[in-house]
Structure formats: C-alpha cells, structure tokens
Amino acid sequence: MNSRALVLLLLLHSPFSHGSPITARGNAVEVALGSFDVGGQVVTVTQGATLPVAPAPVLSVGDEALTLSADKPAGWAKGTRLKGCNARDVNASGSFVPGSLTIRRAVKGELLKEGEDYLVDAEWGHVGLGPKSQVTAKDTVFASYRYSLERMDTVQVSKEGKVSLKQGKPHISAPVPPEADADQVAVAHVFVGHGAVKVAPEDIYLITETAAQAVTASTPGRIPRTLAKLKAGEPVTIVCLGDSVTAGGNASKPELRYPDVFVAGLRSRFPKAKIDMQNLSAGGSNSRQWLSPEQHPYKGLHGSANPARFEHVIEAKPDLVTIEFVNDAGLTPAGVETSYGEILERLGPGVEVILITPHFTMWRMMGFKSMNEPEKRPYVLALRDFATRHHLGLADASARWQHLAKEGLPYLTLLDNTINHPDDRGHRLFAEELWKCFE
C-alpha cells in the first residue's frame, strides 16, 4: 500500500474524525490513530499512544530575608513581593503555592501568625503587616515558601507515524515550547500551568495553522507618502507613540522592543532610506494624558517634568506616527472618536498615521474565560472602524494575538509579567503587523 492510500485509509477510519485527536487522561495525553492537518500538511499517526505529562516544577525557598510592607497586600501592586515568584517587573500570577508560607522573626526562630502578624495575597505572592503584628515595617523577618513554574511540551509525530512528547524548559511566566526534532512534526502543545498535576482538555493546543496563515486587518497602501520617501531613499521621521509596551516592557533588551524591531526591518528593506525613529512613550499612560495633561496629569507630573505631552510629537515633525495604547482599552467607541479624532486634528493632514490594535492581556482584563476566544473589546472594534473611516493605516496586532491559539500557543505564555507586558516574541508580533502596512 502506498503512502497516499495509507493516509486515505486512516482518515476514513480515524477515531477522531468527529472528535479531538488528543485527549486528556489524568496526568497524560492520549493520541489516537489518525491524521492531523497542520497548516495544510497532513501528518499521520500510525501508532497511537498515551504520553505521560510531568507536573509543573515546584521549587522551595528557605529563610528569605524581607521586611513586611505596611500596605495590605492586594493585587500585583501592593505588598512585599516574595522573590521566588518574581517575573521581572511583578510577581507571576498563580506561581505562589498557597498554604506553603511560614514567616519567622529569626532563622529557626519564633513563627509569626498569618492573619495577625502578617497577611498574604496568595494569587500574587505578596505579603504585608497584619492587624496585630509583633513586628514593624522596619524589622527583617525570614520567609520560607514554595512556588511553581510553568512549561510547554510538544507532541510530535515521526515520519513513521510514531508519536512522542518532547518536554519544554520551565519558566516562571513565559514558557516556550520546544521545536520538534529534525525528523518529527509538531502537531500540538501541552500547557502545564502553575501547580498543575493533571492535564485538562483546555491545556491541549492543537497546531492547526501556521503563523503565516494568520488573517488580520492590517492595511497595505494607506501610507503612500512615507512609502514613497522610503523607496526614494529620502529622510523619513517616524514617531512611535504609546505606553509601556511601546517603551519596551518586557523586551529582554532595547533592540528587541517592537519599535526597534519594526524600524530594523524597514532599514533592511529600504537600505538607502535615512530613517529617524523617535520612541515617545510613557509607561502607564493613555491618549487622554498625552492630549490633555492639565486635566489628566500623568503620574501627577506637570510641565517639563511630564514626559507625556503631545507637543513632543509635533516638535519631532514626523512623516509617520504609529500609535499604541493598550491603556486605552477601556474607551468606548465614542471615546475613540473623541481622542483619536483630536490626535488627527493636531497632527494635521501632512502626517500619516498607523493605529495599532492592542495585544491580548490577562483574562480579567479581556473578559475571557479561556485562552481561545475572539477579540470583543469595544475599543479594539472601534479602533478598526475608525481606521477604515479615516483611511488610516492599521497594524492589527490584536488579530495576530487571537491567532496564537491556532498556532498551538496559549496567548498568556507570551505575557512576560502575566498581566500586560509581552515577551520578545510578543513584541515581534507588533513589528510584523506594522511591516504589512509597507507592502
């Protein structure tokens, strides 16, 4: 029997022709006999298997010296952080193992009482002084606790149809799945979250499409003057306006921030062009703070002390302005019309604009119940509509993040701080959507 006939036979008799090809079985995944379609490539499993999935790694910390915050620990911003749970700029949500914490006044000394001497925010791994504490915010105490990491494993299939599981490298917040071996094809990834000891159905991410198959609303053809200057090798000034994401959080180094990746790509494509990129951004800012700093001061700063002032954009005399504000995600469609309409008015008709739809953030911000839901934030839908009505460039990063599930990736694993800051992979997605505007 030739290989094509074998594929057809397996498809006809595939036990998952009407169900999932990979199912959760306790602490394992079961891969059935049949064929996968991985971005148009048919991958055939001739030897089904049950593949054990190791639990999330749990690490212990002993006698960590710290002081207890006077602030009640609440959310990612308040309280003293337990260092083991740290994901760079904040603690990783869910990494702390609840009930594992003990705090002593001295190494091997007297145990303090939770609820009286100290308080704990178990979601974020933050601690603070309790209502009847024997210690003060100046006293050094010693904490012992456990925390877990996350991991992404890869289900791969050999040319002979044998299936296996390749374990990934653990990470506190942004695990990367391993590449399939040279003679294998990756057909799925398994997400092992904080504290996980069993595999749930929602932890299995089939790879059904490639990154190249992502369909977004990014717009070629709407920045003709900038594109003409680049092709002619003329000087071009690009302002990247935005918040902490544009500023670079959580890129591992400056050259991997999306504005830098974006402009590096333009310089490679237009080597004769003289591109001046100015990154005008302020972490935590939104468009109203840039437009009306007197009414909406940024971090209470005023005048020259305030970096978020729109006159900086005007002073740069840009040919093109890209705009990214995930912190505008709470705007209504009317708010989009007001803020972005004012931006266009201040820039004037001589400046071209690319609006960037924001990436996906943590579930509660998105209103999601899983990592496989479509974009529904009113701000994003309104921003796409605004770009269409005003014939502006649009870099649709949101749609690209939505597509990650089809690539076998839970989008949260690209959020380095587990809240709203992308890792290097996430930053590159912004750049890739921006490049589409220059086609």
Dihedrals phi, psi of 375, to nearest 5 degrees: -60, 135
Domain boundary at 148, 173, 190, which? 148
Q: Does residue 97 share a domain with residue 124?
A: yes
Number of structural domains (the chain) is: 3
Residue-wise pLDDT for 296-328, tens only, equals: 999 999 999 999 999 999 999 999 999 999 999
Domain boundary at 126, 148, 170, which? 148
Mean pLDDT of 104-110: 96
Q: Does residue 187 share a domain with residue 273?
A: no
CB-CB contact of 397 with 361 (8 Å): no
For residue 253, the model assigns a pLDDT of 97
For residue 20, the model assigns a pLDDT of 78
CA dist., res. 369 & res. 111, Å (int) = 39
For residue 11, the model assigns a pLDDT of 39
CATH number at residue 245: 3.40.50.1110
Sheet holding 49-52, edge to edge: 22-25, 28-31, 49-52
Amino acid identity at 197: V
Residue-wise pLDDT for 224-269, tens only, equals: 999 999 999 999 999 999 999 999 999 999 999 999 999 999 999 9
165-190 b/e (C-beta count within 10 Å ≥ 16 → b): bbebebbbbbbbbbebeeebbbbbbb
Q: Does residue 155 share a domain with residue 119?
A: no
Q: Does residue 275 share a domain with residue 187?
A: no
Mean pLDDT of 186-199: 97
CB-CB contact of 433 with 225 (8 Å): no
Tokens of 74: 């609440």
CA dist., res. 358 & res. 327, Å (int) = 9
Q: Does residue 395 share a domain with residue 259?
A: yes
Q: What is the Rg, in whole angstroms, of the alpha carbon atoms belonging to the chain?
A: 25
E strand or H helix at 3, and its extent?
helix 3-12
Amino acid identity at 410: P
Q: Does residue 220 share a domain with residue 198?
A: no
Domain boundary at 148, 172, 192, which? 148
Q: Does residue 224 share a domain with residue 76?
A: no
CB-CB contact of 190 with 53 (8 Å): yes
CB-CB contact of 278 with 316 (8 Å): yes
Q: Which of 78, 80, 68 is nearest to 138 (CA)?
A: 68
Which pairing describes strands 320-324 and 352-356: parallel, antiparallel, or unpaired? parallel
Q: Does residue 331 share a domain with residue 192?
A: no
Report the percentage of the chain scoring pLDDT > 90: 93
pLDDT at 370 over 90: no
Q: Does residue 89 share a domain with residue 236?
A: no
CA dist., res. 283 & res. 308, Å (int) = 9
DSSP reduced 3-state for 366 = helix
Q: Does residue 155 share a domain with residue 143?
A: no
DSSP classification of residue 123:
T
CB-CB contact of 11 with 35 (8 Å): yes
Averaged confidence pLDDT in the chain: 94
Measure the N-to-C terminal CA separation of the chain; round to a whole number of Å.
Answer: 46
Residue-wise pLDDT for 371-394, tens only, equals: 889 999 999 999 999 999 999 999
E strand or H helix at 425, and its extent?
helix 424-436
For residue 255, the model assigns a pLDDT of 98
Please give the residue range of the domain that contains residue 184. 3-55+150-208
Q: In this structure, how many other beta carbons lie within 10 angstroms of the beta carbon of residue 346?
A: 14
Q: In this structure, how many other beta carbons lie within 10 angstroms of the beta carbon of residue 341?
A: 12
Tokens of 119: 């308080």
Q: Does residue 395 share a domain with residue 254?
A: yes
Q: Does residue 166 share a domain with residue 126?
A: no
Residue-wise pLDDT for 148-173, tens only, equals: 999 999 999 999 999 999 999 999 99
pLDDT at 18 over 70: no
| pLDDT confidence tier of residue 19, bands split at 50, 70 and 90 | low
CA dist., res. 103 & res. 242, Å (int) = 41
Tokens of 280: 């005008």
pLDDT at 358 over 50: yes
Rounded to two decimals, the pTM is 0.93
CB-CB contact of 261 with 428 (8 Å): yes
pLDDT at 6 over 90: no
DSSP classification of residue 129:
E
Tell whether omega for the bond before 250 is within 30 degrees of 0, i.e. cis.
yes
